[in-house]
Structure 1
Amino acid sequence: MEGLIIGWYGALAGLAIAIILILRKLNPVYALFLGAIVGALIGGANLEQTVSVLVSGTQSVMGTVLRVLAAGVLAGVMMESGAAEAIAQAIVKKFGGSKAILALALATMVITAMGVFIPVAVLIVAPIALSVGNKMGISKVALLLALSGGGKAGNIISPNPNTIAAARGFDLDLSHVMLAGLIPAVCGLIVTVILASLLKKKGIMVTTEEAANGTDTANTATYPPLSRAIVAPLVAIVLLMINPIGSISGIEALARLKVDALYILPLAGIIGMLAMGQGNKVLQYTSSGLSKMTATVLILIGAGGIAGLISASDLSNQVVHLIELSGISGTFLAPISGILMAAATASTSTGVIVATGSFGQAILDMGTAPLAAAVMVHTGATVIDSLPQGTYFHVTADSMKMTIKQRMGLIPYEAVVGGTMTIVATLVYGFLF
């Protein structure tokens, strides 16, 4: 495949075909692969070269895949043990009804930041939100915005597949990317609470029946105590932060201690399991975590295929040329690539994979530092990643008993939250530092 350059039109055609097929309900993995194959052929590759493009692209995501599978241990423990629910209940109870929107947004943010997938985090907090919304007279659109916005904020500081992809895409430690996302995440949380508070009396309200059905799923008697529920995420955070803390404080021994998330996340999950007295369920929890990661891993491999197509094409050169002609700063290539690729795939993690694999080198060539590039691509991928061709849109609509039309009305507000985090990340890391 050496010397092969696929025409930019082939890359765009492949991406368009993948999107259309996803919208037509074809499995996203097959849609991404088929788009990559047809795009490569349109762009001038022969059959043999097309296979090489796909193999090269999928090989590039294997490091991410390994770490995502490792994260399955922690995710399985948090979800199956009831630890995530216990933490959510504790946060909402602590803040009380008067600060319900802040409590719901913060609960979803914290759970996502602890390594639970954002759609799962929304599903966990949704029954609590329905109950609170019915009692306090808060509309469904405000409730779901609180959950989704809080989840987006937590997602950019979590050991989730999207953050792992952002770190691996620019050859960085996961902990550094998580820490760098903290300022944009806090700003995202603030904007979420403000917007949701303005919307709390607008739209459809939660019925008593919906609230009752939601709370039936929340059996608090089975939850572990909060002091034990937080052990697993606490261990993960402490171990992941050893290296950044050493770098910031100048403690050389800590700065040189680079323990990969591949080891830390499963270890934290197992320690948390033992702390909750559930060591005998290690097989059950790890099997559950693995099964929950399988779909994500397959989509990441499919995204690797389409990223291989785009990186083998001259599309990134064409985009750089357009940016130079427009006269805007090359720094904007990072957030723009994240926004566009996540919108195309309706997935934060897939968008980050495609953006880093396709535009990563071009972003660095324009003088952007790796950490700044990672944070800007990552936050950019949260702007319009909740479109109807993705599963997140439908999972969250079902969780709040909303119709497709009602759920569509939430997308602009979610874009404001993601846009705020992207603007903050671009200002802080693209221009100030």
Structure 2
Amino acid sequence: MTITTFGAIIGLSVSIILIIKKFEPFYCLVFGALVGGIVGGADLVSTVEYMANGAQSMAPAILRVMTSGFLAATLIKTGAVDRISEEIIKILGIKKSILGIVLSAMVLSAVGVDLDVVVLTVGPIGMSIGHKLGYSKLAILLAALGGGKAGNIISPNPNTLAAATNFNVDLSSVMLANIVPAICGVLVTTVLAKTLINKVSKINIDIDIQEDENLPSLFASIIGPIVAICLLFLGNVSSIVVDPLVALPVGAIVCIIATKNLVHTKEYLSYGVEKMQGVCILLLGTGTLVGIIQMSNLQHSTISLLDTLSIPQFLLAPISGMVMSLATASTTGGATIASSTFSSAILNSGLSGIAGASMVNAGACVFEHLPHGALFHASTKSVSMDLIERFKLIHYEIAIGLVIVFVSTIMQFFMMSL
């Protein structure tokens, strides 16, 4: 039984409206999926079956996301994230402080720390620098958000994991494919943030971030992520393929040993599960909606629309990522729904799995910061900014995301034409 395109769109719309109204996202997605299936012409039994199948398809991604939480937890709880960000800013110096904040956020995101934690970590450090130099909160926050956005598309974070899993390609290959777009994102973020240095409110709270002598050394802080990333990239240079399910926990163990925190291993494991369970629950809810969309005519309708508008079919990859991130205000939700729903059509357009996954992932970063998502509110809190001022950054963030997805698309189109 095929669900109509109208039903799929109604289901997606219901989910979006309820999420915007601040209902629990998991139930919004499940309820939207149920409504979409019934409105789309399926009976109740078939609708529930499609939802269950969709949620089941999320299992591989959820398993890898849960294990990635161990590495993220060790980086956060050992103080590694603080040491890494402090050292980057210290090395670049005050004169290049904006670039330092951007790179700090990028590196933290790229090694597997989720964006909420990145902005909450880098924000106070940026506030301290901004107070001393007379910079605006807008400049500091945009630097942290843009850097995090750039790092997120080359990271082992849930969005990249989901895209790689759904296109059945190596995570490391998807990470590698977006390095140049990430660098472009860093450059654009730095330029835009500098234009905001003297705009709107200045930081008038004296925040002095003292260096904590209890933080681990820089080597101990970075060795865990380096080991994890090297293991992931083994498959690109040899016949040895290490799945993220193994590589990321190994990196976590190395980090724990290097920082001499073996006694806290149980605590970090618990924190990792706690940190990732919200993402995994979101993925389950997303899966129910994906199940309905996959059984609908939405793919064919979308392809027909692209043909009518004379838009190349390979652009379905970045466009689907952008549209789904607009719907969910989440890189994870956007990348998951787009890659699950449109992977077959994207591959049929002539793109490789790596190209499709990287473009979807890049597209999903464009609208992740919208007000109906968690990042908007976490970032607002990170620099104690009022909501009216926070809204003034949205178009800058969209611009950074568009540059990233444009460069990613051009690169993959060039590779496809070779």
The two structures have a TM-score, normalised by structure 2, of 0.98
- Contact 2:229/2:247, CA 8 A, preserved across alignment: no
Aligned to 1:160: 157
TM superposition shift of 1:219 = 6.0
Which of 211, 219, 227 is the aligned partner of 1:227? 219
For 1:304 and 1:131, locate their aligned partners in 2 and report how far apart those are by CA, in whole Å. 42
Query: Is 2:20 the partner of 1:23?
Result: yes
For 1:405 and 1:357, locate their aligned partners in 2 and report how far apart those are by CA, in whole Å. 36
Question: 1:303-349 CA deviation, whole Å, 9 max, x = no partner?
Answer: 11111111110011001001011112111111000000011000001
For 1:243 and 1:39, locate their aligned partners in 2 and report how far apart those are by CA, in whole Å. 41
Query: Is 2:278 the partner of 1:295?
Result: yes
Which of 393, 403, 428 is the aligned partner of 2:386? 403
For 1:426 and 1:352, locate their aligned partners in 2 and report how far apart those are by CA, in whole Å. 15
Aligned to 1:143: 140
Query: Is 2:257 the partner of 1:274?
Result: yes
For 1:9 and 1:70, locate their aligned partners in 2 and report how far apart those are by CA, in whole Å. 37
The two structures have a TM-score, normalised by structure 1, of 0.95
TM superposition shift of 1:432 = 3.8
- Contact 2:331/2:364, CA 8 A, preserved across alignment: yes
TM superposition shift of 1:430 = 2.3
Q: What letter is aligned with 1:144?
A: L
SS of match in other structure, 2:23 = coil
Aligned to 2:294: 311
For 1:350 and 1:222, locate their aligned partners in 2 and report how far apart those are by CA, in whole Å. 37
For 2:348 and 2:324, locate their aligned partners in 1 and report how far apart those are by CA, in whole Å. 19
Aligned to 2:108: 111
- Contact 2:338/2:360, CA 8 A, preserved across alignment: yes
SS of match in other structure, 1:222 = coil
Alignment of 1:241-260 (within 5 A): 241-244=233-236, 246=237, 254=238, 256-260=239-243
Q: What letter is aligned with 2:400?
A: V
For 2:73 and 2:191, locate their aligned partners in 1 and report how far apart those are by CA, in whole Å. 33
For 1:30 and 1:278, locate their aligned partners in 2 and report how far apart those are by CA, in whole Å. 38
Q: What letter is aligned with 2:75?
A: M
Aligned to 2:118: 121
Alignment of 1:351-370 (within 5 A): 351-370=334-353
Can you give the 5+ residue segments of structure 1 that lack an aligned partner in the other structure? 247-253
Q: What letter is aligned with 2:408?
A: A
Q: What letter is aligned with 1:241?
A: F
TM superposition shift of 1:407 = 1.1
Alignment of 1:9-408 (within 5 A): 9-209=6-206, 211-212=207-208, 215=209, 220-244=212-236, 246=237, 254=238, 256-408=239-391
TM superposition shift of 1:242 = 1.3
Identity %: 41
For 1:431 and 1:37, locate their aligned partners in 2 and report how far apart those are by CA, in whole Å. 41
TM superposition shift of 1:14 = 0.5
Can you give the 5+ residue segments of structure 2 that lack an aligned partner in the other structure? none
TM superposition shift of 1:175 = 0.6
For 2:276 and 2:415, locate their aligned partners in 1 and report how far apart those are by CA, in whole Å. 37
The count of corresponding residues between Structure 1 and Structure 2 is 416
SS of match in other structure, 2:213 = helix
